[in-house]
Amino acid sequence: MSRPFRKILVANRGEIAVRILRSCRDLGIETVAVYSEADRNSLHVRYANEARLLGPPAPSESYLRIDRILEIAKETGAEAIHPGFGFLAENAAFARAVTEAGFAFIGPPPASMEVMGDKLASRAAMVAAGVAVVPGTTEPLADAAAALKTANEVGYPVMLKASAGGGGKGIRVVRSADEIEAAFTTASGESLSAFGDGRMYIEKFLERPRHVEVQILGDQHGKVIHVGERECSIQRRHQKLIEEAPCTVVDDATRAKMGAMAVAAAKAVDYFSAGTVEFLWSNGEYYFLEMNTRIQVEHAITEEVYGVDLIAWMIRIAAGEKLTLPDNLTPRGHAFEVRLNAEDPDMGFVPSLGTIQDLRIPGGPGVRVDSAMYRGMEVTPYYDSMLAKLITYGSDREQARRRMLRVLQELFVGGVKTSASLALQILQTPEFIAGDYDTGFLEAWRESDPETSREVDDDFEEVAALVAAMHRHHSAHQNALQFAGDADSSLSPWVAADRFKRLGKGVRS
Amino acid sequence: MKYFVKMAHADFEVDLTDLGNGHYSLKIGDRVIEADFHAVDAHGQYACLLDGRSYAASIAEQDSQTLDVTIGGESFSAHAQDERERTAGELATARPVAEVIKASMPGIVVSLTVSPGDVLQEGQAVGILEAMKMQNEVSAPHGGVVAEVMVETGQAVDSGQVLIRLESASDE
């Protein structure tokens, strides 16, 4: 197996940096990590072969410093740069700067990123390519009469949206023609007084929409395939919490059609590398929402049900290799992902900062944990709150779901609060068990102030109280004897392997 | 030894008898539970048997009395005091609370818009904290006059840290 590159720089941090480093290791590629002053001890720094300081913790002074990243790439002799997700991943100027400096950018071409990054331009490109978009207007409506005309064409119910709208202001759902004029006048007026802009758009209102997205993979020789869909409707404030693949409402025929549409969308902008075409799904219809021109957080569930390493393919494609996967891949089994965030669900999801004093990572059949956590890790306020991704695989949906319940019970993160307990509750709701949920589910469910339904009868609160009492008693007696436990994480196995190799005992394949 | 444990939904009074070697007899209401309780490490992991049912429990201390207890993937906040602490606590809460504005979450101080001498209304915004791309407004829990601003813009603060000291009511 030839190596696509000799050395890659990973311009990111946290879980995704570790994930990319792992694929590099699998491919026998040397790695360079970059880090901010807050991340000196991070796992990605320790897992890489080389590591260089970017600057102070603030992203604008570290992970967003294009000049520093290119400088380090030159110094270390890296051949390619992987941006991960977030930070510079969808920054076309960065992608261009990377290529112009003579490195390979492990991602899509900048021109594709630019089109897909612009709401109006991407919509126009999709319409031209015959991809279904949410029916509606892209130009502001002249008046109520124009609104009526468009609404009649689009079909009811429709949504009137203020161009400057936000926070629910300037938005009206209209269910019949006789409501249009009044709704237009009030929504436009509301927006004018709140935002100083009364311009209105119209869009088909989708009942119980689901967020279903299709993974695509394309090479630099014109081949684009789809790697199935992911269901990502469990969201809070547009942040995904739990994802699954495949989607329970997508059958084989729909998958083939959606997949073909996603491939057409990618081809329309001459896309290559990995990308995701997001659709809104409602009552069996689906419409293009946007395309994410990067690897996504939830890519791992696709990897599990399709048996492919998407990051490895991104690397190979960036090196100019041909995509050799067949274009009729079929999913096998079912996978779930839970995003483990450092936040306190009981306190309105405020970030939970602190030191991870203790850590128990789940294991066993069908379990994959993509994580950047380690004992002693400081969770700082500077970056995203995602600590890890918990992924389970099963031969069917119920097996994968039950494995996730087990994973969430086995996991322990001491010292910071996480979203694990919330995920555990969601996974046990009748709606989730049935796969019958939409993007509004989580907010509605939380507002209903649900009683947690659990399979275990034990009164865990009482158990916790007893444990707390015994802990107090135990600590009081141990205080005199207390010694500092050895909290040091040992050397990363990779670093250890490298040391071994340098002693001349290891063999590089 | 009695312990008073406050949980989210109920308060528990646990009468604990230490039988040695990690064995305890726990009286709770009119029930007696036989417990076998062992620390697995020095980081708050316990192997716990209650009348033979097994629980893997983990405890993170917020302070010596406030504990985050995790059992079977569920987290509970417990406030546990012995008799002496409970008596002391009752005395302490009888004292008036300090006149301060605290950080509602850990984070970076993005801005503080007040200076000493400013008169604040209840609910008035006094600044913004940011953590993990989330901004939260800090507002005055009650009216008052700013005595001292304790932190600077750009500074990292802990949850509950005092940001602003108000002149106490008795100064008025």
- Select the residue of A353, A384, A464 nearest B106 (Cβ to Cβ): A353
For the domain A210-447, what is the CATH superfamily, name and number?
A: ATP-grasp fold, B domain (3.30.470.20)
Measured between alpha carbons, how far apart are the two ends of chain B, in Å? Answer: 46
Tokens of A106: 């492990």
Cα B31 from Cα A263, distance rounded (Å): 65
B100-171: CATH topology is: OB fold (Dihydrolipoamide Acetyltransferase, E2P) (2.40.50)
From the list A52, A65, A255, A294, the catalytic residue is A294
Cα A506 from Cα A43, distance rounded (Å): 23
Residue range A187-234, pLDDT digits in tens: 888 888 878 888 888 989 999 999 999 999 999 999 999 999 999 999
The chain B residue lying nearest A460, using CA atoms, is B71
Contacts of B8 in chain A (CB under 8 A): 461
Cα B70 from Cα B167, distance rounded (Å): 41
Whether the CB-CB separation of A144 and A185 falls below 8 Å is answered with yes
Domain boundaries, chain B: 2-93, 100-171
- pLDDT value, residue B98: 56
**Sequence ranges of chain A with CATH classification 3.30.470.20:** 210-447
- pLDDT value, residue B171: 42
Chain B residues 121-160 with a CB less than 8 Å from chain A: 130-134, 136, 156, 158-159
Cα A214 from Cα A292, distance rounded (Å): 10
Q: For the domain B2-93, what is the CATH code?
A: 3.30.700.30
Residue range A353-391, pLDDT digits in tens: 989 988 999 999 999 999 999 999 999 999 999 999 999
- pLDDT value, residue A49: 97
Contacts of B131 in chain A (CB under 8 A): 350-351, 353, 381
- pLDDT value, residue A485: 42
Q: Which of B94, B46, B88, B92 is nearest to B67 (CA)?
A: B46
Peptide bond into A246 cis (omega under 30): yes
Our separate counts of H helices and E strands in chain B read: 1, 16
Mean pLDDT, residues A257-284? 96
Contacts of B132 in chain A (CB under 8 A): 342-343, 351, 381-385
CB burial class (10 A; 0-12, 13-18, 19+) of residue A252?
A: exposed
Cα A211 from Cα A437, distance rounded (Å): 10
Strand order in the sheet with B156-157: B134-139, B125-131, B107-112, B156-157
B103 lies within 8 A of chain A by CB: no
Please name the helix (run of DSSP H) or strand (run of DSSP E) that holds residue A23, with its range, or none: helix A14-27
**Sequence ranges of chain A with CATH classification 3.40.50.20:** 7-106
| Mean pLDDT score across all residues of chain A | 90
A294 has catalytic annotation: yes
Q: What ipTM score was computed for the predicted complex, to two decimals?
A: 0.73
B168 lies within 8 A of chain A by CB: no
- Indicate which of A236, A461, A478, A482 best probes the interface with B, i.e. most B CBs within 10 Å of its own CB: A461
| Binary contact (B73, A408; C-beta < 8 A) | yes
Cα A275 from Cα A175, distance rounded (Å): 36
What is the three-class DSSP state of A399?
helix
Under 8 Å CB-to-CB from A196, ≥6 apart: which residues? A164
Q: Which residue has 């993170």 as its token pair?
A: B60
- pLDDT value, residue A165: 67
pLDDT exceeds 90 at position A319: yes
CATH of region A7-106, choose from 1.10.645.10, 3.40.50.20, 3.10.129.10, 3.30.2000.20: 3.40.50.20
Whether the CB-CB separation of B2 and B82 falls below 8 Å is answered with yes
B118 lies within 8 A of chain A by CB: no
A144-204: CATH topology is: Dna Ligase; domain 1 (3.30.1490)
Mean pLDDT, residues A82-111? 97
User: A140 versus A316: which is more confidently predicted?
Assistant: A316
